[in-house]
Amino acid sequence: MLSELRTIWEVLKHTFTKAETVQYPEEMPYLSPRYRGRIVLTRDPDGEERCVACNLCAAVCPVDCIALQKDTREDGTWYPEFFRINFSRCIMCGMCEEACPTYAIQLTPDFEMCEYDRQNMVYEKEHLLINGVGKYPDYNFYRVSGMQTATKDKGEAQNEARPIDTKSLLP
Amino acid sequence: MPTIYIDGQALEVAQGENILEACLNAGMDLPYFCWHPAMGSIGSCRQCALVQYQNEEDTRGRIVMGCMTPVTEGARFSLNAENATEFRSAVVESLMLNHPHDCPVCGEGGECHLQDMTVMVGHRDRRYTGKKNTHRNQYLGPLIHHEMNRCITCYRCERYYRDYAGGKDLGAQASHDHVYFGRHEEGVLQSEFSGNLVEVCPTGVFTDKPFLKHYSRKWDLQSAPSICSGCAVGCNIAPGERYGKLKRVHNRYNHEVNGYFLCDRGRFGSGYINSDARLDYAGIKKPDGSFMAVHQQQAIDTAASWIKHKKVAGIGSPRASLEANYLLRELVGAANFVAGFSDREAEIMGTIVHSLKHTRASNPSIKQMEAADAILILGEDVTNTAPRVALGLRQSVRNKAFELAEQMGLPPWQDAAIRNLAQDQRSPMIIVSAMDTRLDDVASRCVSLAADDIAVFGYAVAEVLAGGKSEDVAVNEAAEILLRAKHPLILSGSSMSHTGIVNGAVAVAEALEAQNKSAMLSLCVAESNSLGLALLVDSGLKTKPLSISKLAKKSSKLDALIILENDLDRRSNKADIDLLVTGGAKIVSMDILENSTLNNSDLVLPAASYAESQGTLVSSEGRAQRYFPVYRPAAERLPSWQWMLQLADACEHKTLSELEHFDQVVAACAASQPLFATLVDVAPLRDYRSQGQKIPRQTHRYSGRTAMNAGVSVHEPQQPEDTESALAFSMEGLNRDEPASLIPYVWSPGWNSNQSLQKFQAEVDGPLKGGTAGVRIIQSTGLGALQSSEPAEPTLKPHHWLLVPVHQVHGSEEMSANTDEIAELAGRAFIGIGEKVAEKLDVAEGDGVVVTQGKTDISLQVKILSRVAKNCVGFSAGYSETLGLTAGSLVSLVKDQQWVRATSQMIATDKGTGTRGGSAHV
């Protein structure tokens, strides 16, 4: 008897508290930057595509909704020839972002992805690639990697010594 | 069998093993880098450390290297002792000091032995704060990509390339932490086996360059067990596919045949499968000579209207499967079936089949050849005609070293010690050939003779073996080494287009057998199914099988002609082909790539390549092996056997129209002659299940299933079903414990690289747990195969030379020559002459010479050979430029004054891509 009264009292009390729900879509809720919504592909600080087509996002994806094919630029660097995410399968788990070694793939707070036609949920690279660095402003994978690029010679990457002259007798 | 104790666990191990092998055999995970089952131990990487205790009381023990420590009775070890695990982790940490941050952009990532070992020892965080050493890369040709920064200096590449494969142009340079593995200067790697560096290197220093251009991770490749169609050796391969393109070819272990290694033709020669010159649809020739694309059914109906109740002949193919050839033979009748060999080759193949069926000598596998301690090669440049066999022969000449090691009590895996001990001492190998061969550097004697004289040489050796005498030093030496040997090997083949040479080799083998020596006789044949086809036509007919030239003569009486995967330009002369084409018979032909035979046909059918179809090939060893489709053929391509069945069905053929499945075709083929009875045992039938499921072609981590087709339609299609084999186009199922002929790829938990193979082997370097793939179908009667044919001395006119075919690993094989990278390496066709002839003609290397054979004039580039038999000149065989030349004919040579020398070869860059039609691995 007492507990029932208490329940009624508690419910009554909540009638006067501020509502947690908001009048979406008139009023937009706050979503933190680390919210896991629509996936984007970002660019490095130099404006180049960050994705190196390493395939780790595709490998880790639990619903296998990422497919891509590696291609090679003139200077030998890697990039995706195509990069496709089937958002009708995506569960926004963020494991691709965690696996990405170049900070290329990032999840954004945008979750409004409804479509009347499921085919429109298939995003190609042109839909995914944004003109920005996303959450990681400074990172450029090719400045760390030992691979030679058009703008970086061997030995010029982070923490690298100059290339060894194998014909030298010096220690 | 000694008993050893590892972490208190008693293990029965084989005498003579080392601890690393013992641990791996026991299923324990002991990390290693420099040790390789085929190359033994050198103890350089210090990775396989464990603790050895003196006795039961000893608790401290000492660190020993597993690969360098032989097993002894009662020895005690610990794999998990703290100091051992710490040591191994420290070794990986030090190896990683200079390792670049490359994994995401490395062609080895995901199947990297270094990644596996790093995870296995538990190393994670970098403590060293100093700078990383860096190196400049080299251009190593169109096949191998070099990224030296990733090196961990295990020396495997150098040991493989120089010591195992006999290459000379790759080695270690500099010292201490400056060690560099590369060439003395940039340039194309010269070895025919350079591709194995990709699999030998435990990290990503050497990677597959064509694969890298359009790379996919190992876990994303759909693979199937397959057989290389590059030559008649029958190496087992595992091609990988993604997005409908063949991406790469990897080695598939077969204990008896190819072991761990492939040749570059086999590994890199499949790019033609992705070529734009592939046919997609059937075509009917219009009156103006162009083709109109038609649907499968329309094509079949048209063909049936030409074939049904008519007089039809068929031309088979030595590069098509046994089943397809069998079906064609049944469809047109044995009397109207032409094997599809050139007339000359048909004769040689007849001799070879007769020899193999009746010889007392054994026909060895490569594994058995590696045990040979004396070798006589008659007329064959094995490195270019049966490359993987040549790699085996390079191991057999080392038997002298192993013999010395045994006297010293050294175990065979003590690689460095044995090489030091033996230095240049090798088992004897005598090469009798018209010109230099790629095995000359390990031969004890090379003899340069014209084709007829090689045959005479063989007979002379046989005579000496039988107790006769000879004046010739080389003949006496050959007889002596063969008599002295425990496992003598005589090797010859069809590459010189000379029956006498084959008979000469058979005579030597028979003479040895007559002396109660067990001889090995290996006869190389040209194409992947040459032997199977020859066996097929050899039986069932009392008269001699029909040849192309005979068929041409009676072509006017034919209503239709069916040509199976055969470009007649390579088999016959122009006159005969014209007769066939203009004889009035309707020509139905099927092939993989466009060629002139297809263009001469009235109906063309697009055939599936080996990677899209299944069939049986018989290797020169007489081993029947099955290949399975890696992926479904695109467009309206069909495997040839299915085209044949549909044709038979449309013609309401009595027996064939009852067949529906591949297994039924195999069964029918097996029943057709006693020799083929075991064909049904070559691989499990389509109803085979492992743990209730089919064997998956895809890895368990095959990615992108719900996205790869979403670009076309978001509605996901059903996985394609394979109704013809025990393999599935799926990731469901278990790739474990299946028969060896069904293993699509190797992977084991913790072992992502190809080193996971040891988990599939019954013991280290032994056969697979699922047995050895393939069935040897030729059982010799042992009655003796001697055929007498006394070769006549050729009469030479002055200023005339005898043409000798020179086979090239890159360029001579029909299909692989259509791959960009192979075409680049093949270069232009050449005429090989000795220095004296060059002087006489006043030409130097790279100049042009007009070769006149009868009415044919061909300008060819000059190549100066180091040794050449008198009056002989060599021409690159199998090149489209030289198809008009006939081996053994007399030609005259004149300097070509109009010849434009090729501009000196520029060293291309790593970005260089071919521009020819057959773009590889796109």
For residue A27, the 8-state DSSP code is S
Q: Quote the CA–CA distance of B86 and B63 in Å, as a whole number.
A: 11
Q: Which of B836, B839, B862 is nearest to B849 (CA)?
A: B862
User: Does the beta carbon of A54 lie under 8 angstroms from any beta carbon of chain B?
Assistant: yes
CA B357-B361-B367 angle, 5° bins: 105
Q: Give chain B positions within 8 Å (CB) of A160.
A: 100, 131-132, 134
Q: Choose among A84, A102, A146: nearest Cβ to B710.
A: A84
Give the tokens for residue B59.
Answer: 């608790």
Phi, psi of A78 (to 5 degrees): -95, 145
Phi, psi of B465 (to 5 degrees): -60, -35
**Which whole number is the average pLDDT over A128-140?**
93
**Which whole number is the average pLDDT over B681-703?**
93
Return the sign of the alpha-carbon dihedral for residues B379, B385, B388, B391: positive
Instruction: Determine contact, residues B220/B244, Cβ cutoff 8 Å.
Output: no
Q: What would the pLDDT profile of A5-40 be if each residue is shown by its tens digit? A: 999 999 999 988 888 888 888 998 888 988 999 999
Q: What confidence category does residue B798 fall into, taking pLDDT thresholds of 50, 70 and 90?
A: low
CA–CA distance from B700 to each of B167, B276, B284 (Å)? 38, 32, 44
Place of tokens 């009917």: B284
First-last CA distance in chain A: 90
- Taking CB atoms and an 8 Å limit, are B102 and A64 in contact across chains? no
Which among B103, B108, B134, B715 is the top mutation candidate for probing chain A, defined by the most A β-carbons within 10 Å of its own β-carbon?
B134
- Taking CB atoms and an 8 Å limit, are A171 and B176 in contact across chains? yes
Q: Is the pLDDT of residue B277 over 70?
A: yes
Share of chain B above pLDDT 70, in %: 96
Q: Give chain B positions within 8 Å (CB) of A105.
A: none
> How much is the pLDDT for B792?
56
The set of residues, in sequence order, having a beta carbon less than 8 Å from that of B836 and lying 6+ positions away, is: none
Q: Give chain B positions within 8 Å (CB) of A63.
A: 706
**Which whole number is the average pLDDT over B776-802?**
71
Q: What would the pLDDT profile of B732-741 be if each residue is shown by its tens digit? A: 999 988 999 9
Q: What confidence category does residue B796 fall into, taking pLDDT thresholds of 50, 70 and 90?
A: low
Phi, psi of B273 (to 5 degrees): -65, -30
Which of A 128-167 lie inside 8 A of B, CB atoms? 141, 144-148, 154-155, 157, 159-164, 166-167
User: Does the beta carbon of A55 lie under 8 angstroms from any beta carbon of chain B?
Assistant: yes
> How much is the pLDDT for B794?
55
Instruction: Determine contact, residues A137/A45, Cβ cutoff 8 Å.
Output: yes
Q: What would the pLDDT profile of B10-51 be if each residue is shown by its tens digit? A: 999 999 999 999 999 999 999 999 999 999 999 999 999 999
- Taking CB atoms and an 8 Å limit, are A167 and B174 in contact across chains? yes
> How much is the pLDDT for B295?
94
Q: Is the pLDDT of residue B916 over 50?
A: no
Q: Is the pLDDT of residue B905 over 80?
A: no
Q: How many CB atoms lie within 10 A of CB B453?
A: 24
Share of chain B above pLDDT 90, in %: 77
> How much is the pLDDT for B797?
64
Give the tokens for residue A8.
Answer: 């009624």
Give the tokens for residue B507.
Answer: 């005579």
**Which whole number is the average pLDDT over A78-89?**
95
CA B516-B522-B528 angle, 5° bins: 155
Q: How many CB pairs under 8 A join A and B?
A: 150
B870: left (phi over 0), alpha (psi -120 to 50) or beta: beta
**Which whole number is the average pLDDT over A94-104?**
95
- Taking CB atoms and an 8 Å limit, are B174 and A166 in contact across chains? yes
Give the tokens for residue B851.
Answer: 């070769």
Q: What confidence category does residue B907 fall into, taking pLDDT thresholds of 50, 70 and 90?
A: very low
Instruction: Determine contact, residues B205/B146, Cβ cutoff 8 Å.
Output: yes
Q: What is the pTM of this model?
A: 0.93
Q: Give chain A positions within 8 Å (CB) of B708.
A: 67, 84
Q: What would the pLDDT profile of B363-419 be if each residue is shown by its tens digit? A: 999 999 999 999 999 999 999 999 999 999 999 999 999 999 999 999 999 999 999
Q: Which of B779, B672, B785, B677 is nearest to B354 (CA)?
A: B785
Q: Give chain B positions within 8 Å (CB) of A70.
A: 214-216
CA–CA distance from B159 to each of B162, B658, B890 (Å)? 6, 56, 44
Q: Which of B359, B389, B386 is nearest to B375 (CA)?
A: B389
For residue B761, the 8-state DSSP code is B
Q: Quote the CA–CA distance of B834 and B843 in Å, as a whole number.
A: 11
Nearest CA in chain B to A171: B176
Q: Choose among A59, A77, A102: nearest Cβ to B217.
A: A59
Q: What would the pLDDT profile of B461-478 be if each residue is shown by its tens digit? A: 999 999 888 889 999 999
- Closest-CA distance, A59 to chain B, in angstroms, reads 5
**Which whole number is the average pLDDT over B579-585?**
87
> Where do the domains of chain B lie, and which CATH numbers do they carry?
3-96 (3.10.20.740), 363-518 (3.40.228.10), 801-895 (2.40.40.20)
Q: What confidence category does residue B917 fall into, taking pLDDT thresholds of 50, 70 and 90?
A: very low
Q: Quote the CA–CA distance of B862 and B350 in Å, as a whole number.
A: 35
Based on its alpha-carbon atoms, the radius of gyration of chain A, rounded to whole angstroms, reads 24
Instruction: Determine contact, residues B612/B633, Cβ cutoff 8 Å.
Output: yes
Q: Is the pLDDT of residue B906 over 60?
A: no
Which among A55, A126, A149 is the top mutation candidate for probing chain B, defined by the most B β-carbons within 10 Å of its own β-carbon?
A55
User: Does the beta carbon of A52 lie under 8 angstroms from any beta carbon of chain B?
Assistant: yes
**Which whole number is the average pLDDT over B107-130?**
93
- Taking CB atoms and an 8 Å limit, are A159 and B219 in contact across chains? no
Lowest mean pLDDT among B234-238, B572-576, B767-771: B572-576
- Taking CB atoms and an 8 Å limit, are A141 and B243 in contact across chains? no
**Which whole number is the average pLDDT over B785-809?**
73
β-bridge mates for residue B376, sequence order: B430, B490
CA B481-B487-B489 angle, 5° bins: 70
CA–CA distance from B599 to each of B325, B545, B635 (Å)? 22, 27, 20
Q: What would the pLDDT profile of B538-573 be if each residue is shown by its tens digit? A: 865 667 788 888 888 888 889 999 999 999 999 988
Which among A44, A60, A70 is the top mutation candidate for probing chain B, defined by the most B β-carbons within 10 Å of its own β-carbon?
A70
Give the tokens for residue A133.
Answer: 């660095």
Q: Choose among A55, A56, A166: nearest Cβ to B178.
A: A166
β-bridge mates for residue B448, sequence order: B433
- Taking CB atoms and an 8 Å limit, are A146 and B149 in contact across chains? yes
The set of residues, in sequence order, having a beta carbon less than 8 Å from that of B44 and lying 6+ positions away, is: B34, B153, B154, B155
Q: How many CB atoms lie within 10 A of CB B347?
A: 17
Q: What is the mean pLDDT of chain B?
A: 91
Q: Quote the CA–CA distance of B382 and B399 in Å, as a whole number.
A: 19
Strands B429-433, B445-448: parallel, antiparallel or unpaired by DSSP? parallel
> How much is the pLDDT for B541?
61
Element (H, E) at A106: strand A105-107
Q: Quote the CA–CA distance of B143 and B208 in Å, as a whole number.
A: 6
Instruction: Determine contact, residues B132/B241, Cβ cutoff 8 Å.
Output: no
Q: How many CB atoms lie within 10 A of CB B75?
A: 21
For residue B871, the 8-state DSSP code is T
As a 3-state breakdown, chain B gives helix, strand, coil percent values, each rounded to 5, of 30, 20, 50
**Which whole number is the average pLDDT over B813-830?**
92
Q: Give chain B positions within 8 Å (CB) of A61.
A: 703-704
β-bridge mates for residue B226, sequence order: B237
Nearest CA in chain A to B706: A65
Q: Which of B796, B838, B829 is nearest to B811 (CA)?
A: B829
Q: How many CB atoms lie within 10 A of CB B298?
A: 14
Q: Choose among A74, A86, A147: nearest Cβ to B710.
A: A86
Q: What would the pLDDT profile of B310-341 be if each residue is shown by its tens digit? A: 899 999 999 999 999 999 999 999 889 999 99
Q: What would the pLDDT profile of B479-533 be if each residue is shown by its tens digit? A: 999 999 999 999 999 999 899 999 999 999 999 999 988 999 999 999 999 999 9
Give the tokens for residue B113.
Answer: 């032995």
Q: What would the pLDDT profile of B225-268 be if each residue is shown by its tens digit? A: 999 999 999 999 999 999 999 999 999 999 999 999 999 999 99
Q: Give chain A positions within 8 Å (CB) of B702.
A: 64
Instruction: Determine contact, residues B897/B842, Cβ cutoff 8 Å.
Output: no
Q: Quote the CA–CA distance of B761 and B744 in Å, as a whole number.
A: 14
Lowest mean pLDDT among B126-135, B187-196, B781-790, B807-816: B781-790
Q: Is the pLDDT of residue B799 over 80?
A: no
